Each structure stands twice: as C-alpha cells, then as structure tokens.
Amino acid sequence: MTHAVLSIADLSVALPAGGDRAHAVQGVSLDIRAGQTLCVVGESGSGKSVMATSVMGLLDKALRPDAGQILLKGESLLDAAPARLRQLRGQAMGMVFQEPMTALNPVMTCGDQVDELLATHTDWSAARRRAEILQVFERVRLPEPERMLRSYPHQLSGGQRQRIVIAMAVILKPALLICDEPTTALDVTTQKEILRLIADLQREQGSAVLFITHDMGVVAEIADEVLVMHQGRAVECGPKDEVLRRPREAYTRQLLAAVPGMTPPAPRPEPSGAALLSGQGVGKTYIARDWLGRARPTQALRDAAVAVRAGETVGIVGESGSGKSTFARCLIRLIDPSEGQIRWGQDEVAALPENRLRPLRHRVQVVFQDPNRSLNPRRTVGQSMVEGAMNFGQSRAEAEALAVALMAQVRLPVEALQRYPSQFSGGQRQRLAIARALACKPQVLVADEAVSALDVSVQAQILKLLREAQDRLGLGLLFITHDLRVAAQLCDRVIVMHQGRIVEQGATAALYANPQQDYTRRLFDAAPAALPPMEGTLA
C-alpha cells in the first residue's frame, strides 16, 4: 500500500458549550492515497464541512480540535504554525468551495487573483507567472484564456467562475485537492462538466481528492472510496461499490433508499375534469431603462402554457434562468404577467387588480424553496397559521381549530403553534409552510423548489406529505424543480423549460424514456449517475 497523502486519525472537533452536541466531529479517521478520490457524504449538520475546514486550518475560532491528528504527507497540520499552514494552502493543498462568486474577489480581475497566489508562493518572474496562468486556464478548459485574464468574476458564468477557482486550486499542482460541495450551486449540465474536469485534472497530476458532498449521485459518479458521516461520526467507510451496493449500516441504507431514482413509477390514471389552474400564452418582459430612458427589454418568459387538474401533479423542470420560477410566480399572480391568460378555475385573473384578486387567492396557494425565510420570524407559528383562514372570512376560533387539525396532518405537535419558526428545523418549517397553505383550503398548490434546500431523507418525507395531502384533498399540484429525479418520482406530467420557453412536455414516463428535443436529452444525460441497485433489497 502506497503512502497516504492525507491521513486523519481519530479526529475530534469540539463545539462551543450549549450546542446540540458536544462535538462537531468525533473520532473520524480516513486515509487518501495519491490519485484517489474520497467522497465524504452526509446530510447537513453531519460535520463533513467542519472536517474539511480543519484540514485546511480554517476552522472558526469557536471550534477547536481536541483529539486526534491530521497528517499531510506525514506533516502534522494541527500542530503547524499559522505561517506554515498558509504556505501549505495553495502549494500542498488546493481548495474549491461551494459558491464561486463569494470565493473570488469581485473587484479584482481573475488574472490578478491567480497572479497574487503565484506571487505569494513562488519566486517566478511576471512573464513566467502569466504563461503559467494561461496554461492552467487552458487546462481547466476556459474559453479565450486571454480574455478571462482580464475579466472580473461577475462577467463570467457560474461554471466559468468555478473553473477559475479550480484553476487557482490546481495551478501549483498540490498533492491534495479539497472540494467542499463544489457543484451544489451549479446547474446539472455545468455540474457534469465540472465533475469531469476535476476527475481529469486528478488523473493528470495524480492528486488525492477529498470531496465533500450531500449528493449520492455525485458520489456514484466520481468516488473511489466513500465515507458516510452522521452526527459527527463516521458511519461507514469503504470502496464505492461496497458502500453503495452492499451498505453494512442501517443509516447508509436509509440514506441510499431516500435518493429518488430517475425511473418514473407506473403512471396513475389520468384525471378528468376541468383545469383548476391554467395559463395560455403567458409571457413576462422586464424592461430596464438606461440613463437616457431607452428601454432594454428582457424576455424572461415567452408563450408558456400549462393546465393543472384536480388530483394531478404537473412538474416544471429546468436550469436556473429557464423561466420556470417566473412562470410559477405569474400563475400565482405574485408578479404581473406581460401577456397571456391565466385562469383560476373559471375565472380569468391575468389582468385582475389585487383587490379583486384577493377573494380568489385561497384557490391557489404556494410553498417556497427556502424554509428559513418562508415564515415570518417575528410571529408565532400559530399566528402565521390562522392568517390565511381569517383573511378568507373564518372566525379566529374556527381558524385556530383548523390550525390544530393541520398540525396533526403535517405530524407536528400542537404545542408547535406557540413557538417561533426559529425553533424548528428546515424540514419542520417546510411542513409548517405546507400547513399554512392548506389552511386556506386551496384547489391547487404550487411548490416552487419546495424540497430543493432539504436533505434527501427530509425531502422524501416532505414529498410523501405532499402526496398524502393531494390524495386526501384532491389537490392539483404544480411542482417547480431543477431536480429531475424528484420530478420523475412525483409528477404525472413534466414540462421542460429552457431560456424562458417550454421546450418539451409530456407524460413523465414517456418523456423520461424517450425525450424528443436535443436540450431535454442533454439535460437528462447531465443528471448524476443512477445509483447501482442495493443488494438484498427490492429496489
């Protein structure tokens, strides 16, 4: 066995007193050899990022490692002086973070930022540095390296920015590359390219890669070894195939089972009846004016149509900027469409003023993406729950009785009504948001990326909850998501959007089996690899 590049033995990192547990990371050991990729996978709060930051020596001051050791090529990092750590970062270990926009300095050109790194760590001449930067930009496959050199981060796309960050991480050919959720903020097609790039670079220079992710699909794609973490402890560690196909631990099994598959389930019978929510030729044009008052229109949405019937789930999928959220917001009339018809039941609402819209608003309700911000932090859950029902004419007593009943439906204790949103976890808050929407007795529920910010196991619970509510109340569900796997599991019909237009739509099973359009095919190809079937279960 060759010598490990990074070796962590029995690492524990203490949390400040008063937290929900004593250690962020407890007794974790791992080894990565040159040319190997170790994926650390776990849900939020599992301690995976804390472990990565302790390797880099960038831990928050409130956290302190209190046991174990971290060896980088035999050198102890926990005992290293700050100056030595600075030297090692960049030279012996490169880092790629989740959000490239915040990892780069917005007021420096990309070229200058990479140059600063080289000037710090090498004694190369300016000409040599420039040549090296151009070369590394080629290696990370940035188009027009010369132009990239002079560009500011905001002038590049998300994928290009991440390539710059990767270029900075690999330019000094570090022995260890640490990637902390490097593709989480990116679209699937971009994610695919970045993952391939990381794998290629690793092969070229034989680095060891420590890859932090929450996405089992990404693990299946790039890992050699997998470490599963839960509540700060290592649950299971082993070669990828072992862990994904023959998980030993119940937690790993549960985590894998919660990942939705790309294969849609058998179709449900098609609902009959009139559409409860429909749009025809909906468009939205934003007009920006320059200082002379000249209009510069941007078409965010063009000629979009949808119809949602009772008991049916329609999915809208697309990457960021595809117009799917704009479309949803137009349909709920949170923004005013520039053109087209929108019907809630029989009523045409596209041009209705807010005061005439209000009595109809109970028909269409909405659940948003970010559970942290979808409930007013200054009001108790109970106050938030009764607001809608009381707006639609119920008395306080009726609304409160309804809120109590809804708590049971979303499986939260009745005492929850007296608490503030900050006292709940993300998944619980999302249940509260669903309960708040259901309190208005809607006909259609619009879920705008409602499970995208949640861990897979929580995601599965919320999806189940939505399904139950749909079956019980005959709700029409309009489900906006960027996650093709979730859409496959939940939706009866799927609409694919790209650049403000509907590209393709159809019954889920047919669409996934046989996409007609180029763009749809590319989108489906880019989705992270399907997990290999677990042995010993009927998956």
Partner 1 sequence: MKSVVRKLLAHSAIRFGMSVLGLLILLAALAPWLGTVDPAAMDSANINTQAGVAGQFTLLDGTSLAHTFWMGSDNFGRDIYSRVLYGTRVSLLVGLLTAVVALLAGGLLGMLAGYFRTLDMVLMRFMDGLMAIPAILLAIALVAAMGAKLWTVIVAIAIPEIPRVTRLVRSLVLTLREEPFVEAAKALATPTPVILLRHILPNAMAPLIVQGTFIAASAVLTEAILSFLGLGLPADIPTWGNIMAEGRVQFTQYPGNVLFPALFLVPTVLAINLLGDGLRDVLDPKFAKRSAG
3-state secondary structure of 239: strand
Q: Applying CB under 8 A, which of residues 324, 361, 431, 485 lies at the interface with partner 1?
A: 361
- Identify residues 422-481 at the interface with partner 1 (CB under 8 A): 433, 436-437, 440
In whole angstroms, what is the distance from residue 21 CA to residue 431 CA? 25
- Identify residues 301-360 at the interface with partner 1 (CB under 8 A): 332, 334, 354, 357-359
Cα dist from 452 to 46, 429, 447, whole Å: 18, 14, 10
CB closer to partner 1 out of 124 and 392: 392
Q: How many CB atoms lie within 10 A of CB 241?
A: 13
Q: Applying CB under 8 A, which of residues 61, 289, 294, 296 lies at the interface with partner 1?
A: 61
Q: For residue 204, which of 135, 264, 271 has the smallest C-alpha distance?
A: 135
Interaction of residue 368 with partner 1, rule CB under 8 A? yes
In whole angstroms, what is the distance from residue 361 CA to residue 344 CA? 9
* Sole window of 18-26, 97-105, 261-269, 367-375 interacting with partner 1 (rule: CB under 8 A): 367-375
Q: Applying CB under 8 A, which of residues 26, 183, 191, 369 lies at the interface with partner 1?
A: 369
**CB–CB of 513/489 below 8 Å?**
no
CB closer to partner 1 out of 62 and 513: 62
- Identify residues 170-189 at the interface with partner 1 (CB under 8 A): none
CB of 358 to partner 1, least distance (A): 4
Q: Applying CB under 8 A, which of residues 105, 135, 157, 376 lies at the interface with partner 1?
A: 376
Q: What is the DSSP letter of 464?
A: H
Interaction of residue 196 with partner 1, rule CB under 8 A? no
> How many residues make contact with partner 1 (CB under 8 A)?
33
Cα dist from 495 to 168, 282, 484, whole Å: 39, 14, 11
Q: Applying CB under 8 A, which of residues 178, 275, 375, 403 lies at the interface with partner 1?
A: 375
- Identify residues 487-526 at the interface with partner 1 (CB under 8 A): none
Where does 330-467 show beta strands of DSSP type E?
339-344, 347-348, 364-367, 444-448
CB of 378 to partner 1, least distance (A): 4
**CB–CB of 194/162 below 8 Å?**
yes
Task: Tokens for 108, please give them.
Answer: 């420096």
CB of 53 to partner 1, least distance (A): 15
Letters for 93-132 (x = contact with partner 1 by CB under 8 A, - = none) are ----------------------------------------
CB closer to partner 1 out of 48 and 436: 436
How many angstroms from the chain centroid is the CA of residue 301? 23
CB closer to partner 1 out of 14 and 199: 14
CB closer to partner 1 out of 296 and 378: 378
* Sole window of 238-246, 375-383, 467-475, 514-522 interacting with partner 1 (rule: CB under 8 A): 375-383
Letters for 382-421 (x = contact with partner 1 by CB under 8 A, - = none) are --x--xx--xx-----------------------------
Residue the block writes with tokens 């690999």: 170
CB of 215 to partner 1, least distance (A): 24
Q: How many CB atoms lie within 10 A of CB 357?
A: 14
CB closer to partner 1 out of 238 and 321: 321
3-state secondary structure of 15: coil
**CB–CB of 235/228 below 8 Å?**
yes
Residue the block writes with tokens 């290696």: 139
Q: Applying CB under 8 A, which of residues 196, 268, 373, 521 lies at the interface with partner 1?
A: 373
In whole angstroms, what is the distance from residue 324 CA to residue 316 CA? 6
Q: Applying CB under 8 A, which of residues 378, 397, 413, 538 lies at the interface with partner 1?
A: 378
CB of 252 to partner 1, least distance (A): 34
Q: What is the identity of the amino acid at 5?
A: V
CB of 439 to partner 1, least distance (A): 8
Task: Tokens for 464, please give them.
Answer: 């189940």
Longest dimension (CA), the chain: 77
In whole angstroms, what is the distance from residue 229 CA to residue 45 CA? 10
CB closer to partner 1 out of 219 and 446: 446
Say if residue 27 is exposed, middle or buried (CB neighbours under 10 Å; 0-12, 13-18, 19+): middle
Q: Applying CB under 8 A, which of residues 37, 162, 326, 365 lies at the interface with partner 1?
A: 365
CB closer to partner 1 out of 255 and 386: 386
CB closer to partner 1 out of 229 and 434: 434
**CB–CB of 282/500 below 8 Å?**
no
Interaction of residue 58 with partner 1, rule CB under 8 A? no
* Sole window of 31-39, 60-68, 182-190, 226-234 interacting with partner 1 (rule: CB under 8 A): 60-68
Residue the block writes with tokens 């900075």: 168
CB closer to partner 1 out of 44 and 423: 423
206: CB partners within 8 A, 6+ apart: 34, 35
CB of 325 to partner 1, least distance (A): 11
CB closer to partner 1 out of 39 and 367: 367
479: CB partners within 8 A, 6+ apart: 313, 314, 315, 316, 447, 450, 486, 487, 490, 491
- On the CB side of 181, CA atoms within 13 Å amount to 16
**CB–CB of 332/316 below 8 Å?**
no
Q: Applying CB under 8 A, which of residues 362, 431, 482, 485 lies at the interface with partner 1?
A: 362
Binding site for partner 1 (CB under 8 A): 60-62, 332, 334, 354, 357-359, 361-362, 364-366, 368-370, 373-379, 384, 387-388, 391-392, 433, 436-437, 440
